[in-house]
Amino acid sequence: MKPAPFAYVRPGTTEDVLAELGRDGAKVLAGGQSLVPVLAMRLGRPSTLVDINAVPELNRMSRTDGHLRVGATVRQRQVQYDDAAAAVPLLRLALPWVGHREIRSRGTVCGSIAHADPSAELPAVASCLDATMVVTSAGGAREISASEFFTGAMSTAVVPEELLTEVRFPVAADGEGFGFGEIARRHGDFALAGVAVRVRTTTAGPEARISCFGISDHPVTRDVSPQLRAALDATGAEPDGSGLGRALRDHAVAIADDVVDTGGDAHASAAYRRQLVAGLVSRHVARAYLKSVRPNREGESS
Ligand SMILES: Cc1cc2nc3c(=O)[nH]c(=O)nc-3n(C[C@H](O)[C@H](O)[C@H](O)COP(=O)(O)OP(=O)(O)OC[C@H]3O[C@@H](n4cnc5c(N)ncnc54)[C@H](O)[C@@H]3O)c2cc1C
């Protein structure tokens, strides 16, 4: 099958992009790694593709005001290897799981977040870190928190005449540790289930936040601090990873029951996804906690 006919424009400024997006049926083309298959299968029939890749200011990544700012055409692979992005360890943990190297070379971080596939890694990272999405139209810019951005499967708060110009990820602070894991049928496939974790440990104790993906129509975020504290009460203050993981297990089963609301599909039943989430949550919350209290310990992932 071939795409339905469409017009193609490649403006050189954000202003011109926004003017084009104001036309009926126009659609942003970023890396094309999700949009082009959609067009080829005729699941979408935009009248005009607005290619944003010739706009220099959209290809910027910088670290300012405690945030990593990732522009609309910054490739996933750039973020995976750029030194500035090391300040957001959760992104670095997640990116190797996104498709294959060739896809990450073209696919953009903003494109993945705008596309909002329920099984995608980067929307879960944005949710876990409560990243800020900056969307711009001819009328001006607005900022949307991750908790309000993802509204359903492939569905976000961005309206057709808007461009996601930038995502701002908070830079990791001292006392924070991160975990990320997923299960897919083959490496590079979309996840059957996955979890992104941030633990922040201060003198007041640990706070833990998870975002699960592949298990609902959008990433599901929970504060699991009480469960982590209860597990630490059982293990004592200096647990090893496997001991803490075991202590978290019963809590993780209850968390999985709460967050998995997808039905089964050709790849996995809902019950199987619950088992996957329980295992992933207990393992990666434990890892993230240990990283938050022992940041430089050998053999423990960040
Ligand atoms: C074989 C294969 C395997 C893959 N595996 C994975 C995987 O495991 N995990 C994963 O997360 N992804 C996977 N992907 C998808 C990949 O990550 C895409 O790059 C990403 O989802 C979309 O980014 P893009 O820049 O290519 O966007 P495009 O394909 O250009 O656009 C995708 C959608 O987002 C919109 N859009 C893009 N940028 C913006 C913007 N700045 N503002 C507003 N709207 C915008 C477009 O209009 C379109 O609707 C896979 C893709 C392929 C082909």
Ligand 1 and 28: CB distance under 6 A:
yes
CB-CB contact of 193 with 213 (8 Å): yes
Q: What is the Cβ-side half-sphere exposure of residue 300, based on CA atoms within 13 angstroms?
A: 21
Same domain? For 110 and 21 the reply is no
Same domain? For 64 and 134 the reply is yes
Residue 160 lies in a domain: yes
Please identify, among 138, 170, 202, the residue that sits at the C-terminal boundary of a domain. Answer: 170
Residue 165 lies in a domain: yes
Ligand 1 and 219: CB distance under 6 A:
no
pLDDT at residue 4 in the model: 93
Question: What is the number of the ligand 1 atom nearest to the C-alpha of 189?
Answer: 8
Same domain? For 159 and 232 the reply is no
Question: What is the number of the ligand 1 atom nearest to the C-alpha of 28?
Answer: 47
Please give the tally of structural domains in the chain.
3
Structural domain of 257: 176-293
Which two structure tokens, joined as six digits, stand for 165?
Answer: 């110009």
Same domain? For 182 and 286 the reply is yes
CATH number of the domain that 35 lies in?
Answer: 3.30.43.10
Residue 41 lies in a domain: yes
pLDDT at residue 213 in the model: 97
One digit per residue, the tens of pLDDT, for the chain of length 302 reads 789 999 999 999 999 999 999 999 999 999 999 999 999 999 999 999 999 999 999 999 999 999 999 999 999 999 999 999 999 999 999 999 999 999 999 999 999 999 999 999 999 999 999 999 999 999 999 999 999 999 999 999 999 999 999 999 999 999 999 999 999 999 888 899 999 999 999 999 999 999 999 999 999 999 999 999 999 999 987 899 899 999 999 999 999 999 999 888 888 999 999 999 999 999 999 999 999 998 776 444 44
pLDDT at residue 299 in the model: 45
pLDDT at residue 302 in the model: 45
Same domain? For 194 and 280 the reply is yes
Same domain? For 184 and 164 the reply is no
Same domain? For 41 and 102 the reply is no
Residue 302 lies in a domain: no
Residue nearest to atom 1 of ligand 1 (CA): 99
Ligand 1 and 230: CB distance under 6 A:
no
CB-CB contact of 157 with 85 (8 Å): no
Rounded to an integer, what distance in angstroms lies between the CA atom of residue 99 and that of residue 33? 10
Return the number of other C-beta atoms located less than 10 Å from residue 195's C-beta: 34
Nearest to 173 by CA among 67, 19, 23, 84: 67
Question: What is the number of the ligand 1 atom nearest to the C-alpha of 188?
Answer: 8
Question: What is the number of the ligand 1 atom nearest to the C-alpha of 135?
Answer: 42
Same domain? For 88 and 22 the reply is no
Same domain? For 156 and 226 the reply is no
CATH number of the domain that 115 lies in?
Answer: 3.30.465.10
Q: Give the Å distance between the CA of 231 and the centre of ligand 1.
A: 38
What is the DSSP secondary-structure string of 132-175? EEEEEETTEEEEEEHHHHEEETTEES--TT-EEEEEEEEPP-TT
Same domain? For 268 and 212 the reply is yes
Ligand 1 and 55: CB distance under 6 A:
no
The secondary element (H helix, E strand) that includes residue 188 is none
Same domain? For 159 and 70 the reply is yes
Please identify, among 170, 197, 216, the residue that sits at the C-terminal boundary of a domain. Answer: 170
Residue type, 198: R
CATH number of the domain that 289 lies in?
Answer: 3.30.390.50
pLDDT at residue 263 in the model: 82
Q: Give the Å distance between the CA of 27 and the centre of ligand 1.
A: 13
Q: Indicate the burial class of 2 (C-beta count within 10 angstroms; 0-12, 13-18, 19 or more).
A: exposed
Rounded to an integer, what distance in angstroms lies between the CA atom of residue 263 and that of residue 285? 25
Same domain? For 28 and 86 the reply is no
